[in-house]
Homo-oligomer: A and B are copies of this chain.
Amino acid sequence: MPLSTRPAAPGSLSDRAYVLIRNKILRGEFALGAPLSRRNLAAELEMSFVPISEAMQRLEAEGLVESRPRVGTRVRVPTPQDLRDRYIIREALETQSARLFCEKASSAEREEMRRMAARLDEMSERWTGGEDDPDFVFSVQSFHLSLHMRIAECTGCGPLCELIEKNQVLAINWLYDMAAGYQLPPGFHQPLIELLAGNDPDAADAAMRKHVRSGMQEILAAISERYGAGGGGLQGPEVLGEAVGAALWRSRYRRSADIASRSRRR
C-alpha cells in the first residue's frame, strides 16, 4: 500500500499531468479561455516544467488547449464551427461503429445494449429540463457517453474507440459550459438500438446518422436560445468564441502570484 509521501503514482509524471489538467478542464475548474501558465502548473502539481510541457503538447494536439509560441497557453474556446466539425467527425465514426456493431455484435451484446438504451431513456424521462441537480445531469450525460462507447467497443476495433472518445471530449466540455440547458429528447435511444441490433447494416448506419445529426441540431438550438445572435438552426453565432477568448487572453497576471514567487525562491 502506498505511503503518504507519494500515493499511487501509476505511469509517468507526464501522464499524470495530462490526466490532471485534462480533468480540471473537463470539469470546468479551468474555465474556457483561462490562461494556463506552465510554470504555475508545475508549482501547483509539484513537478517540473518538462512533464507539464509534454502534457500541454498532448492537450493541444487533441484540441483542448491552444498555445501561441512565446505568448501563452489557454483553454481553447471552441467556435460553433468547431462544434459542427466535431459532429461531422462524430457522424463518420459512429455510423461506422453502428454498422460494424450490426454486423458483428453477439446476441448477448445486443441484449446488453437494449438494456442500456432502456435505462438511458428512463433517466432522460425524469429529466425535467429545468434547473435539475447538476450531479444528476452529469450522471445522465456520462451514461449517454458510455452507451455510445459500448457500441464502439463491441466492434472490436480499438482505434475506432479511441477516436470516438477523443472526439467527444471537447463536445462534452462545450456542452457543459455553454449549453447546459440542453436535454436529451425522451425515447431517443431505444429505436436507434433496435435498428443496430437488427440485421441490416445500412439501416443501422442511417439510424445512427439521423441520431447524431438530430443531436447536433438540438445542441445548436440550445446554444442559439441562450446566446441569441440570430435565429436557431445551423447558422449559429459565429463570433461568440473569439469574443470570449480575446477578452480572456488579456488577464494573465492575475492568479497565484504567490505560487510563482514561492517556486522562484527554491
Instruction: Judge if A204 is at the interface, Cβ distance under 8 Å.
Output: no
Q: Report A52-107 residues with CB < 8 Å from chain B CB.
A: 53-54, 57-58, 61, 63, 69, 85-86, 88-89, 91-93, 95-97, 100
Instruction: Judge if A50 is at the interface, Cβ distance under 8 Å.
Output: yes
A89 with B12: in contact, given A57-B57, A57-B58 (CB under 8 Å)?
Answer: no
Residues of B within 8 A of A58 (CB): 57, 61
Q: How far, in Å, is A95 (CB) from chain B's closest CB?
A: 7
Q: How far, in Å, is A92 (CB) from chain B's closest CB?
A: 3
Binds B, one of A135-143, A157-165, A238-246, A247-255: A157-165
A85 with B50: in contact, given A57-B57, A61-B61 (CB under 8 Å)?
Answer: no
A69, A155, A163 interface centre (most CB from chain B within 10 Å): A163
Residues of B within 8 A of A54 (CB): 53-54, 57
Residues of B within 8 A of A159 (CB): 63, 85-86, 88-89
Give Cα A12 to B68, complex, Å. 12
Residues of B within 8 A of A69 (CB): 12
Q: How far, in Å, is A168 (CB) from chain B's closest CB?
A: 13
Residues of B within 8 A of A88 (CB): 96, 100, 155, 157, 159-160
Residues of B within 8 A of A12 (CB): 69
A205 to B, closest residue via Cβ = B205
Give Cα A242 to B196, complex, Å. 35
A62 to B, closest residue via Cβ = B61
Give Cα A89 to B157, complex, Å. 9
Closest 6 CB pairs of A and B: A92-B96, A92-B92, A85-B159, A88-B157, A85-B157, A92-B93
Other than A63-B159, A88-B160, A89-B96, give 11 A-B pairs with Cβ distance below 8 A. Answer: A54-B57, A57-B58, A58-B61, A85-B158, A85-B160, A88-B155, A89-B93, A92-B93, A92-B95, A92-B160, A95-B96
14 cross-chain CB contacts under 8 A: A12-B69, A57-B58, A58-B61, A61-B61, A85-B159, A85-B160, A88-B100, A88-B157, A88-B160, A89-B96, A92-B92, A92-B97, A93-B93, A163-B163
